A and B are shown apart, each in its own frame.
Chain A
Amino acid sequence: MTKTVTDVICPFCGTLCDDLEVVVSDDGKQLLEVYNACVIGTEKFLHSQAKDRVTRPRLRQADGTWKEISYDEAADYTAQMLAKAKKPLMYGWSSTNCEAQSVGNEIAEISRACCDNTAAVCHGTTLIAVQDIGLPTCTLGEVKNRADRVIFWGCNPAHAHPRHMSRYSIFPRGFFTGKGQMSRKLIVIDPRVTDTAKMADVHLQIEQGKDYELLNALRVALKGEWLPDVVAGIPKEKIREAADMMKSGRFGIIFFGMGVTQSIGKNHNIDEAIAVTKDLNEYTKFSIMPMRGHYNVTGSGEVFAWQFGFPYSVDLTRGFARYNPGDTSSIDLLNRGEVDAMFTIGSDPGAHFPISAVKHIANVPSVCIDPHLTPTSGVSKLHVPVAFNGVETGGNCYRMDNVPIDCRKVVEPPAGMLTDEQFLVMVRDRLKKLKGAA
């Protein structure tokens, strides 16, 4: 006998699909089938069942081998590392739930650490831009129900957010968009002819690194002012055509991704894209939304913000919260050699930071909490495997449009394995004793 769990939330990307169905064995110990998920989400659920999973903490020995240790020993090691460090960096948080993030923030507060999430290498520059100029946005259902102009700028949902287009942005038939895809004009801006661009009504194959200029040209075109003949490799006629197409819609949305956040211009690219959106609201209704990557990077930003006041790159070393990317941001902290201990959870900086930053991680005391084997666990002194959040434990998460959705537990973790939150509580309680905190 099997049972089917419905309304399951997919813990992969910021699309946070919540309509999955998962078939599990009657005893709830085995996960058998996954329905409705994309190929990546399916893999995430199924991989939890891998027979070769590491299920106990392991400490790197002098000869380079791993030694299995207990969770108690691992929590002792972690607490002591944090207690000793003058400037520990607690990084990650985007692939765990808000409950764990909250305990993590207590730990960071007690140890007076720097804490940061994966926005650092994803949409951190978006957050800087939002701080500079604001953000006219909406929930994804608004896009589904109303949008007749959809722009993907420097993002490729066909690969990175596979169900985004069918659930929200291109294909769905909503309240005022009964003809689905036929109700919408699609514009894609990307230096490559991406699989998303192939579906577009208009594809502007922009010269890489010139997003700021092209966005500026769009603003100029909206105002009907003078333009140079070619901007960012795009003739001015095409720019004016795109501007008119945007203006003529009743409800438009710009989705953007790492094509703009990580290219030169960075926060300013988004700043200008938001300015375009703001300008368009003089003519019609327009919104803009970052295509957030990790399924709960948004949640981490929310929890940081209501507890410390800032969404990422928070420095608590002076005993109170400070924030200034460039100074308090992970990559800068590592590249500048500012930190003396590294705590990683729910992310893989080893794979996703430039190698210069990873080298610094390898040089300091380090703990990696992750269900997987990763490049980060590969360079850390202690690896603590934990249950898969969203599969083997539930917990609240925030979708890319900031909508909170409580994840579901669908299957039991392997016997004796702890969740992120459980392990963090052990660390917190030990740290409190070490630091004599209230």
Chain B
Amino acid sequence: MSEYIIKNGHVFDPVQGIKGDKKDIAIKDGKIVDKVGSGAKVIDASGKTVMAGAVEIHAHIAGPKVNLGRIYRPEDKLFSCTPTKGMERMGGGASIPTTFKTGYEYAKMGYTTAMEAAMPPMFSRHVHEEIRDTPIIDEGAFPVFGNNWFVLEYLKNHEIENTAAYIAWMLRVTKGYAVKVVNPGGTEAWAWGLNCLSVNDPVPYFDITPAEIVKGLIEANEYLGLPHSMHIHPNNLGNPGCYQTTLDTLALAKGMKANNKFGRETVMHLTHSQFHSYKGTNWGDFESGAKEITDYVNQNKNITIDTGNVTLDETTTMTADGPFEHHLTGLNNLKWANCDVELETAAGVVPYIYSPNISVCAIQWAIGMEIPLMMKDPMRCYITTDHPNAGPFTRYPRVIKWLMSKKARDTQINAFKHKDKVLSQTSIGSIDKELSLYELAQMTRAGPARTLGLANMCGGLKPGMDADVAVYNFNPDKPVANPDDIETAFSRCAYTFKSGVEVVRNGEIVNNGHKRTLWVNVKVNDNPQVMRDINEKFIKYYSMTQNNYEALGHHFVPNPYALEVDATHV
């Protein structure tokens, strides 16, 4: 494999505490190294910004609901499809890009690792087929557990060991990465057209509450010592007043401690926090709860969050929160897709237009800005758009522009039709903070990598780590003349390296890389009861056989990378 030396760039690496110093980054055999030989290819990064490859902690980029979005939104691709070009296959899609386009767009923006945030276990084989066809970036997928019948039945009796054994089995057969929870209990209730809007609403038939599910899954997660913490989309998403449900959910982590060998210090990841930080009682008095949420997270160090920034685009919402999507289609009357998955979960899809002329959308935008700017520890708050829910991931450069420039934010605020309402219902107008490049590297690299349990592998530029490197045409020594220059710089990398391979040069794909599927292989003690339960459920209630359930073999996971966890000692 080639050797490279990236010379004279301004390096931002929170892992090593490097804050823009001019430093050379050496690459050999796919890793960052101290030194390379004189034959190494020299990349001139003078006047440029150098960071580790960015890490996406939460996006919907592969699998059945994503593809349902593609299938049912031809208009999302109208006049936007792109031709075959050099290494690149054809692409298309604004809010739900094709798999090829997804891989290219991430790489071009300097992202090298991404997590598919909600994998319905029964559809894991589909998720993996799409991951396989998403070039360059390493990907993992989070199976959903929060409405799974096994979990509901075990946790009703607080059977942590059985829950853990079941999780281990599920991660293995689905080649999954982490424990994802979406609207705990509420999605099972949705199978009867109902919902759980608070952490104490009982789940129909199963006689358990969301609170019990969440606590039990954190315990099981730490019992196993998984790389990532339990990753949650709480109950009551998107409703005025939902911040209280969010605080109730966060409180469930109280006193819980991380237990793992991956350097992760937290036990709960609250995703797309913007959607969970709403005060008010209706859409008329709707206001920001960002302060309440960030105050709590700032004080409680065992929690991490991501933002879920609204980008003010026409996009497509999709979530395993089935009842929410049904609620949403009632609000905007746009086409509604839903799929309930036996014994496991559900999903819904609805197009949505975040119009700058609608006050609610503008306030949502402002809350998404407030959260990262109010968080005191950038290592515990990560930038996402909950792609494609709050906007497509391809808008990250614009979100970065807004976060790095008050001027850019003010320009946007002034462009809102209901500017006064935005200023009265949020505190965005009084926030002067501008994100530094170092904080950006924390929020998009080192932070998410640590929370995912990948701190030794990616998110930094320390020798020994994977050589995932992004070089941006952005000179931190020069004042920013126009905030749009920030957006331009972060849209297309001068260079992206993935595992030591130069994949992007001058914003163009030059190599399709060696994409890996990340999954977590947990060894647990034999648990005959759980195995018997699984067997019985397949015979009686699943519509397919157990022997056909596993995602197995080269077709689904051609290049696996397993993080090994040994939980047999407990």
Is residue A131 contacting chain B, with contact meaning CB distance below 8 A?
yes
A6-B547, A130-B71, A168-B543 in contact; A309/B77 too (CB < 8 A)?
yes
Is residue B123 contacting chain A, with contact meaning CB distance below 8 A?
yes
On whether the beta carbons of A321 and B90 are closer than 8 Å, the reply is: yes
On whether the beta carbons of B82 and A320 are closer than 8 Å, the reply is: yes
Least CB distance, A281 to chain B, in whole angstroms? 6
Interface digits, A301-332 against B, CB 8 Å rule (1 contact, 0 not)?
11101111111000010111111100000000
Q: What is the size, in residues, of chain A's interface with B at 8 Å between Cβ atoms?
A: 68
A6-B547, A109-B84, A310-B77 in contact; A137/B338 too (CB < 8 A)?
yes
Is residue A167 contacting chain B, with contact meaning CB distance below 8 A?
yes
On whether the beta carbons of B72 and A130 are closer than 8 Å, the reply is: yes
Report the separation of the CA atoms of residues A63 and B401 in the bound assembly, to the nearest whole angstrom. Answer: 71
On whether the beta carbons of A321 and B81 are closer than 8 Å, the reply is: yes
Chain A residues contacting B191 (CB-CB under 8 Å) are 142, 146, 251, 285
On whether the beta carbons of A109 and B555 are closer than 8 Å, the reply is: no
Interface digits, A152-168 against B, CB 8 Å rule (1 contact, 0 not)?
00000000000000011
Report the separation of the CA atoms of residues A86 and B77 in the bound assembly, to the nearest whole angstrom. Answer: 24
B residues 56-105 touching A (CB-CB < 8 Å): 62, 64, 66-68, 70-77, 81-84, 86-87, 89-90, 92-93, 98-100
On whether the beta carbons of A135 and B541 are closer than 8 Å, the reply is: no
Report the separation of the CA atoms of residues A307 and B335 in the bound assembly, to the nearest whole angstrom. Answer: 23
On whether the beta carbons of B81 and A136 are closer than 8 Å, the reply is: no
Which stretch in B125-133, B417-425, B473-481 binds the other chain?
A: B125-133
Selected from B68, B339, B541, B543, the residue in CB contact (under 8 A) with A167 is B543
A131-B73, A319-B84, A321-B77 in contact; A404/B543 too (CB < 8 A)?
no
Is residue B544 contacting chain A, with contact meaning CB distance below 8 A?
yes
Chain B residues contacting A136 (CB-CB under 8 Å) are 326, 336-338
Interface digits, B23-60 against A, CB 8 Å rule (1 contact, 0 not)?
00000000000000000000000000000000000000
Is residue B292 contacting chain A, with contact meaning CB distance below 8 A?
no
On whether the beta carbons of B126 and A302 are closer than 8 Å, the reply is: yes
Report the separation of the CA atoms of residues A431 and B92 in the bound assembly, to the nearest whole angstrom. Answer: 24
Interface digits, B301-340 against A, CB 8 Å rule (1 contact, 0 not)?
0000000000000000000000000100100000111111
Closest to A108 in B: B90
Which stretch in A196-204, A347-355, A378-386, A395-403 binds the other chain?
A: A395-403
On whether the beta carbons of B329 and A438 are closer than 8 Å, the reply is: no
A284-B193, A402-B64, A403-B544 in contact; A320/B125 too (CB < 8 A)?
no
| Interface magnitude class on chain B | 35 or more
Is residue B545 contacting chain A, with contact meaning CB distance below 8 A?
yes
A137-B338, A306-B99, A320-B81 in contact; A250/B192 too (CB < 8 A)?
yes
On whether the beta carbons of A145 and B541 are closer than 8 Å, the reply is: yes
Least CB distance, B342 to chain A, in whole angstroms? 3
Least CB distance, B545 to chain A, in whole angstroms? 5
Interface digits, A174-213 against B, CB 8 Å rule (1 contact, 0 not)?
1110000000000000000000000000000000000000
B residues 109-156 touching A (CB-CB < 8 Å): 122-123, 125-126, 129-130, 133
On whether the beta carbons of B329 and A18 are closer than 8 Å, the reply is: no
Least CB distance, A235 to chain B, in whole angstroms? 30
Chain B residues contacting A167 (CB-CB under 8 Å) are 543
Is residue A7 contacting chain B, with contact meaning CB distance below 8 A?
yes
Least CB distance, B291 to chain A, in whole angstroms? 37
Selected from B62, B66, B343, the residue in CB contact (under 8 A) with A141 is B343
Report the separation of the CA atoms of residues A102 and B98 in the bound assembly, to the nearest whole angstrom. Answer: 14
Chain A residues contacting B89 (CB-CB under 8 Å) are 109, 307
Interface digits, A389-416 against B, CB 8 Å rule (1 contact, 0 not)?
0000001101001111110000000000
On whether the beta carbons of B98 and A141 are closer than 8 Å, the reply is: no
Selected from B82, B125, B542, the residue in CB contact (under 8 A) with A404 is B125
Is residue A375 contacting chain B, with contact meaning CB distance below 8 A?
no
Least CB distance, A405 to chain B, in whole angstroms? 5
Chain A residues contacting B329 (CB-CB under 8 Å) are 134, 278
A144-B541, A309-B77, A405-B548 in contact; A135/B338 too (CB < 8 A)?
yes
Report the separation of the CA atoms of residues A138 and B329 in the bound assembly, to the nearest whole angstrom. Answer: 18
Is residue A26 contacting chain B, with contact meaning CB distance below 8 A?
no
Interface digits, A115-158 against B, CB 8 Å rule (1 contact, 0 not)?
00000000000010011111111111110111000000000000
On whether the beta carbons of A145 and B70 are closer than 8 Å, the reply is: no
B residues in contact (CB < 8 Å) with A: 62, 64, 66-68, 70-77, 81-84, 86-87, 89-90, 92-93, 98-100, 122-123, 125-126, 129-130, 133, 190-193, 205, 326, 329, 335-343, 346, 349-350, 540-545, 547-548, 552-553, 555-556
A residues in contact (CB < 8 Å) with B: 6-7, 9, 18-19, 98-99, 102, 109-110, 127, 130-142, 144-146, 167-168, 174-176, 250-251, 278, 281, 284-285, 287, 301-303, 305-311, 316, 318-324, 395-396, 398, 401-406, 437-438
